[in-house]
Amino acid sequence: MKENIFDVLMYLFENYMEDEIEILPDSDIVRTELLEAGFEQIEVNKAFDWLESLSVQRAIKASVSPTFRIFCSQETARLDLESRNLIMFLEHSGILSSANREIVIDRAMALENEELSMEKLKWIVLMVLLSQPDEEIAFSRMEDIVYDLIPTYLH
């Protein structure tokens, strides 16, 4: 199988994280299940590292004042203009806080060898929102965008 870290994350999201990111059962059992499903050990390990880093970032506090974000050269190389516009649109529409925006950017950058499409970025946003406390409304709004229940207009 030629799966990548994002495929492992999607499998975990669809099978274990529908309600809460902390509902993941014993990681050894999940790892075994992923290997039996055909995922490579190295990709499984990277996916768990990605999720562990996501849970560590819960401590970031949102800014109360408006923020302005300038993307560094590594970020602009990784996130094309359409991706950056989506992130800013989600923040301006209230789906992402400035703190969650930074987590999304960090998690997107952590997928080093992955091709980052708009669809993948939307899923990253959804996973980040699921991992954050008190983000049920934002998660629901983002879920509508991910599943194309409402159109996304970037102006």
Cα 68 to the center of its chain, rounded Å: 21
The pLDDT tens digits of the residues spanning 68-90 come to 889 999 999 999 999 999 999 99
For 131, the token pair is: 């991992």
* C-alpha–C-alpha distance, residues 125 and 128, integer Å: 5
* C-alpha–C-alpha distance, residues 97 and 67, integer Å: 10
* Model confidence, pTM: 0.81
Instruction: Print pLDDT tens along the chain (155 aa).
Output: 456 888 888 888 888 766 554 445 567 888 888 889 889 999 999 988 898 888 776 555 555 566 788 999 999 999 999 999 999 999 999 999 999 999 999 999 999 878 899 999 999 999 999 888 889 999 999 999 998 866 555 54
The answer for residues whose C-beta is within 8 angstroms of residue 36's C-beta and 6 or more apart is: none
Burial class (CB in 10 A: 0-12, 13-18, 19+), 70: exposed
